[in-house]
Amino acid sequence: MKSQKLILKKNPTLADCQRYMAKMTKARGFEQETIPELFMLFLEECGELAEAVRKTKLKHIKSHWRPEHRPDLEAADVLIYLLEIANKLGIDLEKAFREKEEINKQRVWK
């Protein structure tokens, strides 16, 4: 299956995103990447997101973002690698998110 033929439905759930990335990873031939490799790529993208945020002067006004400093696209890259890592580890991100939020609700925040 070619990656150009894969379509992510409008308003996808987190599970939809995970399934889409699993198919996209296979279509692009990246299924052999190891978890440590994916994690290093994830960290690189986190660094690029940090740089984009730092270099975006009027960061609260999207129309002023420079093409090379797009926090939205860098955040998307971070999400892509997070989805790939979760898929490799067999993590249902929505389930994990909900479980963690229930734990967080019990915490005392100062």
pLDDT at residue 56 in the model:
77
What are the structural domains, with CATH classification, of the chain?
32-100 (1.10.287.1080)
pLDDT at residue 67 in the model:
64
pLDDT at residue 109 in the model:
81
pLDDT at residue 85 in the model:
98
pLDDT at residue 49 in the model:
92
Full-model pTM: 0.84
Q: How far is CA 12 from the centre of its chain?
A: 14
Query: 83: Cβ–Cβ under 8 A, 6 or more apart, which residues?
Result: 17, 18, 21, 93
pLDDT at residue 3 in the model:
63
Instruction: Determine contact, residues 31/22, Cβ cutoff 8 Å.
Output: no
Rounded average pLDDT per 10-residue block, the chain, 110 residues: 79 95 94 96 95 73 65 94 98 97 92
